Amino acid sequence: MTVYAHVTKGDTVMALTDIAIRNAKAREKQYKMSDAKGMYVLVNKAGIYFRLDYRFRGRRKTLALGVYPDVKLQEAREKRDEARKLIAGGVDPSQVRKANRSIQVQQAEDGFEAVAREWFAKHSPSWAESHSKKIIRRFELNVFPWLGRRPVSDITPPELLDVLRRIEGRGALDTAHRAQQNCGQVFRYAIATGKAVRDPSADLRGALAPAKHGRMASITEPKKIGQLLRAIDGYEGGPVTLCALRLAPLVFVRPGELRHAEWAEIDIEQAEWRIPADKMKMRDPHIVPLSKQAVALLNEIRPLTGQGRYVFPSIRTESRPMSDNTILAALRRMGYAKEEMSGHGFRAMASTILHEQDWPSDMIERQLAHAERNSMKAAYNYAQHLPERRRMMQAWADYLDTLRGERQ
């Protein structure tokens, strides 16, 4: 039951004051404090609410005007007057509010951030975790703060360019180009799902300064490769790091794949390392044939780490793999600057020399686990050229031994 608390003078309702509302206390039963023109304050144990009672087409209705103190008395009265104008014009303010809420919901669903996250949710399960994190972080840091709430269909080329120029302005040219590419993917997804009709990123070709694509630092001259291998053999760090350094040129996988290697993935008898799809950049399983030299190295370290999960565990805990900076730091300790050699450099080293030795390009690319454009083809290609790749990997290991022994 609602108790009405009217303050009247004759037939005229006295207007409320801020002090009266501020001092209103909840009672056992809720009650009303009338203002004027149909507006009142409803007081109950949950709070203080501004309301407007009105009639529309013969029906009694109530419109919520806000909650005190978030909405003050004067603001509530302004909302009341706006509603009364609509009523006088034959428009139901409750229906107007529902329509506005529907528009807001639709705008939120069609906002760039909402569409981008929907696109991301559709595609990211097929990506490596590190790749997924880079893409969503790029959006969160560089795009969403400025375009996130904008309806994806309303974004214009100049508007997108302003966002990209902001990235370009701080010198992150590669990030700017990648952001443009990712935005284009979102816009094309929006077109496919009926949320947009065109891709504004397509109009921005040539608008950004060219990105400087530098190759990962690598040593590819045979004489210098031999010097590097001898430097690795003389490394005075921990045995786990030494073994990882010595194995890296023999298998030339990505640094993250090397440090996450698990004993369960390695078959010493078959001389194979089978990396599961969820560890690979493009989410395809990968087979690494192990040369005799690689098997010898693994047998050498097995007594040290073979009881745990990881071949190269962290120095702090065996439950985690070695740090992603371990190999890089070791190269720096040996005197190799970042411009000379990187953890990825072993891949470029193998690719360059193997191509120079006329091994088939598709065999080399398969062993490097480079992306296969045809996803159906990629699913079946992880074992492609395996016998030939075994011969190539053994020949490569033997060649490295030759370079290691050459002192010129």
Measured from the Cβ of residue 76, the count of other Cβ atoms closer than 10 Å reads 23
Return d(Cα 273, Cα 168) in angstroms, integer: 42
**Marked catalytic residue, from 178, 198, 370, 385:** 370
> Is residue 157 domain-shared with residue 40, that is, in the same domain?
no
User: By three-state DSSP, how is residue 12 classified?
Assistant: strand
Measured from the Cβ of residue 95, the count of other Cβ atoms closer than 10 Å reads 12
> Is residue 245 domain-shared with residue 387, that is, in the same domain?
yes
Q: Are 312 and 321 in contact (CB under 8 A)?
A: yes
Instruction: Give one DSSP letter per residue of 156-215, joined into a string.
Output: -HHHHHHHHHHHHHTT-HHHHHHHHHHHHHHHHHHHHTTS-S--GGGGGTT-SPPP--PP
> Is residue 344 domain-shared with residue 253, that is, in the same domain?
yes
> Is residue 234 domain-shared with residue 147, that is, in the same domain?
no
Question: Residue 28: CB partners within 8 Å, gap ≥ 6?
Answer: none
> Is residue 27 domain-shared with residue 129, that is, in the same domain?
no
**Marked catalytic residue, from 279, 347, 366, 389:** 347
Return d(Cα 401, Cα 329) in angstroms, integer: 24
In a domain, 359, yes or no: yes
pLDDT the model gives residue 308: 93
In a domain, 353, yes or no: yes
pLDDT the model gives residue 185: 93
**Marked catalytic residue, from 281, 302, 309, 404:** 281
Return d(Cα 144, Cα 111) in angstroms, integer: 10
We report the CATH number of the domain holding residue 158 as: 1.10.150.130
Please state the pTM of the whole predicted model: 0.51
> Is residue 231 domain-shared with residue 280, that is, in the same domain?
yes
Q: Are 353 and 393 in contact (CB under 8 A)?
A: no
> Is residue 268 domain-shared with residue 388, that is, in the same domain?
yes
Of 149, 174, 204, which one is at a domain's C-terminal end?
A: 204
We report the CATH number of the domain holding residue 364 as: 1.10.443.10
Q: How many domains does the chain have?
A: 3
User: By three-state DSSP, how is residue 112 classified?
Assistant: helix
In a domain, 165, yes or no: yes
Active site residue 347: yes
Domain span at residue 51 reads 3-93
We report the CATH number of the domain holding residue 27 as: 3.30.160.390
pLDDT the model gives residue 186: 94
The H or E element spanning position 350 is helix 345-356
Instruction: List phi, psi (to 5°) of 56.
Output: -135, 120
> Is residue 80 domain-shared with residue 115, that is, in the same domain?
no
> Is residue 270 domain-shared with residue 400, that is, in the same domain?
yes
**Marked catalytic residue, from 344, 366, 382, 389:** 344
Pairing of strands 31-34, 39-44: antiparallel
The H or E element spanning position 225 is helix 222-233
Structure tokens at 77: 């009265």
> Is residue 32 domain-shared with residue 171, that is, in the same domain?
no
pLDDT the model gives residue 397: 96
> Is residue 83 domain-shared with residue 119, that is, in the same domain?
no
Question: Residue 69: is the preceding peptide bond cis (ω within 30°)?
Answer: yes
Tokens 């990825």 appear where?
344
Q: Are 41 and 71 in contact (CB under 8 A)?
A: no
Return d(Cα 316, Cα 34) in angstroms, integer: 70
Active site residue 399: no
pLDDT the model gives residue 106: 55
pLDDT by residue, tens only, the chain of 408 residues: 444 444 333 334 457 888 899 898 999 899 999 988 889 999 998 899 999 999 888 889 999 998 999 899 999 999 999 999 988 888 888 887 877 665 555 555 688 999 999 999 998 887 777 778 889 999 999 999 999 889 999 999 999 999 999 998 888 888 899 899 999 999 999 999 998 999 999 899 889 888 665 567 888 999 999 999 999 999 988 999 999 999 999 999 998 999 999 999 999 999 999 999 888 876 778 999 999 999 999 999 999 999 999 999 998 888 899 988 899 899 999 998 888 898 889 998 999 899 888 888 888 888 988 755 444 444 445 566 789 999 999 999 999 999 998 754
pLDDT the model gives residue 108: 56
Active site residue 344: yes
Measured from the Cβ of residue 396, the count of other Cβ atoms closer than 10 Å reads 22
C-alpha distances in angstroms, 229 versus 128, 222, 245, 346, 391?
A: 31, 11, 9, 11, 21
> Is residue 131 domain-shared with residue 278, that is, in the same domain?
no
Active site residue 380: yes
Q: Which amino acid is at 339?
A: E
